Structure 1
Amino acid sequence: MKILITGANGQLGNEMRVLANANATHTYFFTDVEELDICNEQAVNDFVNQHEIDIIVNCAAYTAVDAAEDNQELNDRLNHLAPGYLARAAQSRGAAMIQVSTDYVFDGTNHTPYTEDEPTCPASVYGTAKLAGEKNVMDHCQQAVVIRTAWLYSIYGNNFVKTMIRLGKERDALGVIFDQVGTPTYARDLAVAIYAIINKGVVRGIYHFSNEGVCSWYDFTVAIHRLAGITNCKVNPIHTADYPTKAARPHYSVLDKTKIKNTFGIEIPHWEASLVDCIQLLKSN
């Protein structure tokens, strides 16, 4: 199959690139904005038809959650409109599409893990655009999969894990929010899941994927420092109210992964086991 992967220089796109070697039966087109501007509908159509694409994996997104509140037009173009262009281009060729979405489509008022069927209620401009992007993809591509994920990190780009390691080395103490609960997702594990969907065949629908287990940002940071060997920085738990942000965050965004595991036979590692793998790679680089 001929597979187009957009946002190839991001965390997930880079992990898809690494794992392409283990899935060498396919032909890949890894693009970022320099190679393909997904906000240009004509360029998207031309690329998909010229290269006879069979599957589009959209890893591109505007992910600056707070900045999205001020840059609403760009956020809407990348997270809402562009996925629709990709979906329509896929549909015109009878191709499939995998769209990566977010836990921010929920407002975080649940106390039990969110299933795919629960009502969405985004509390931020970012979450609203991502939800509109999901709908755009499902409405315009027959063979569409939407994967909602959360708390993504990897050895690539900027992310919470790398920031906490850097701050842990620079500071004597850190205040980290303890009353927002969710599950970290190692981008490599998500990439493995996406390849499982590609190789087993797309089954239309919305799915949830994160690592297994539950933690707060505070718990996550304590584990990051322990595994990175940082001992001279005290991590203090703080309330969300003590760290105001422009965009509202879900207080509880644990995702129920039953559907994706049952549909595609995917086994998902615990978040701490995956964090061990990532930090070992960071140390060796």
Structure 2
Amino acid sequence: MDLAALLDPLGLACREAGEAIRAVRSRGFAVEHKGDLSPVTEADRAAEAIILAALARHAPGVPVVAEEEVAAGRIPALGESFFLVDPLDGTREFVRGGDDYTANIGLVVAGTPVLGLVLAPEQGRLWAGVVGGVAWVESHDGTRAPLAVRTPGERLTVVASKSHMNQATRDFLTTELPDAELVSVGSSLKFCLLAQGKADYYPRLSPTSEWDTAAGHAVLLAAGGQVDGPGGAPLGYGKPGFLNPGFAASAGWKGPKLAPYMPL
């Protein structure tokens, strides 16, 4: 499979999904809740249908684990390679009228994300990368700029979740990084800020699903960054239930281990 050749058609699919999401927002929508009490809307489902159709055309035969498909009990048998799709990451932000939400496609090979696309519909920006290959951000007019992480300076810029800031994260930041500048951002945009050289570190001390992180993880790896689990080993994929216990994403900066601060 030529991974770099997938970026353009899948990028178009992300943009089409973004247009569908914005159309739903424009006409209004109802909010439902899944079994885990997380919100879901017509926009989530419309965007996912567009992305799944594109993957079937451009990467036939590769299993796809998509958030709303999983919620409906449809989980494919997995091989060494599989896609992870979050059609609307940051649904809570979307429901509240915020702009920090994204559409995400990630490809995992042998437990590692190797291709990622992250679209921010309200910004019109698409971040994309193939590990060991290209990494770029595309503006609404199609202009592309390369991505590369920056060398951390004396004062770190740390990004954290708008909707999922918890006491464990506050304790970690207060104890380990008291002098860091803190920026609150929603969804997978936090990975993109690191990949674009606008931030240095993103600690997550609460659970996420693998489809929340795979695309942004791949973009960050392609830009020269890294994502480690609570104990400091690289974060892997294909875990039971597709759940991440916690992680630290960085621009190559090896920070303190998260495990001592993780809730039991």
TM range, smaller chain: under 0.3
- Higher CA-based Rg: 1
TM-score (norm 2): 0.27
Query: More helix per residue: 1 or 2?
Result: 1
Of the two structures, which has the highest relative contact order with CA contacts closer than 8 Å and spacing of 6 or more? 1
Query: More strand per residue: 1 or 2?
Result: 2
TM-score (norm 1): 0.26
